[in-house]
Amino acid sequence: MIGQKTLHSFFSAAPAKKRGRSPEPGEDVEVANGGLAKAKAGEETGRAPPLSPEQQERIRRNKEAALQRLAERNVPPGFGESWRRQLAGEFSKPYFMELMKFVAEERKHYKVYPPPEQVFTWTQMCDIRDVKVVILGQDPYHGPNQAHGLCFSVQKPVPPPPSLENIYKELSTDIEDFTHPGHGDLTGWAKQGVLLLNAVLTVRAHQATSHKEKGWEQFTDEVISWLNKNLHGVVFMLWGAYAQRKGSSIDR
C-alpha cells in the first residue's frame, strides 16, 4: 500500500543528511555582523521616545501633589492656612517629624508651654503675605498662664512680664504719644501684621531653653528665610544678641 513501510526499513541505516555549503571566508563574519546590526536596530526601535514638555509638566505636577498630600498628613494643629501653603514642605522633612515626636513625648511626662493649640498662634493672626514687622524672641515664657504662641505676649489678666515691660519703656522713649496699655496681650499687634516669633516654640515648665536645639530653630529659620525672600518692605526688629544671630541671614 502507498506509504506502507516494510519491517526491514525500520532497521536500515538512516540516509545521510546533506551537508550545507561551507561559508566562504569572511561570510560568517558578515552574517554575525548583520545579526548584530539587526539587534541594535531592534534596540533603537524599542527605545521609549523622549517625554514631551506636556508629559514632563504633568509628572512634575503629580509629584508636587503627592508631596503636598504627604505634608498635609503632618500638618500640626492650629497652623494657619496661608502659612501652611508656603511652609508645608517642612512638615514631611525628617527633622520636623522628629521634632513633633519629641514634643509629644515631652507632653506625656512634663508640663509643656504653650498648650498644643497655641503653639502656632502666630500663624493665625494674619495672612503670611500681610506681615509688615518681625520681632524675634528666643524662648516661650515657662511660667503658668503666660506663653500663648506670640513672643513677649501674655493674655489678660496676666500682668506684663519684665521683658515686655522693657519693650514698653523703649516704645515710650521712641514714640512721643505711646501710652502703656495696662496689659501684656499683643494680639492686636499680631493682627496688624506684626509677627511675634520665638526661635524655639515650646518649653518645659520652669526650665528655660529646655527645648533648645531640638529642631525648632531650623523651622523658624525657614520662616524667616521665606519672609526675607518673598516679601518687600518688612522691618525686622533684632533686639539682643540672640535675635541678631538668628537674623544674620536677613539681607535688609
Give me the active site residues, please.
139
**Main-chain phi, psi angles of 166, to 5 degrees:** -65, -40
141 exposure class (CB count in 10 Å sphere: 0-12, 13-18, 19+): buried
Q: State which amino acid sits at residue 228.
A: N
Burial of 143 (0-12, 13-18, 19+ CB in 10 A): middle
> Please, are residues 147 and 203 in contact by the beta-carbon 8 Å criterion?
yes
* Beta carbons of 232 and 216 less than 8 angstroms apart: no
In order of 6, 78, 81, 213, the CA distances from 117 in angstroms are 102, 6, 14, 22
60-99 residues labelled b (16+ CB within 10 A) or e (exposed): eeeeeeeeeeebeeeebeeebeebbeebbebbbbeebeeb
Instruction: Kindly give the residue spans of alpha helices, DSSP state H, lying in 123-233.
Output: 162-174, 187-191, 216-230
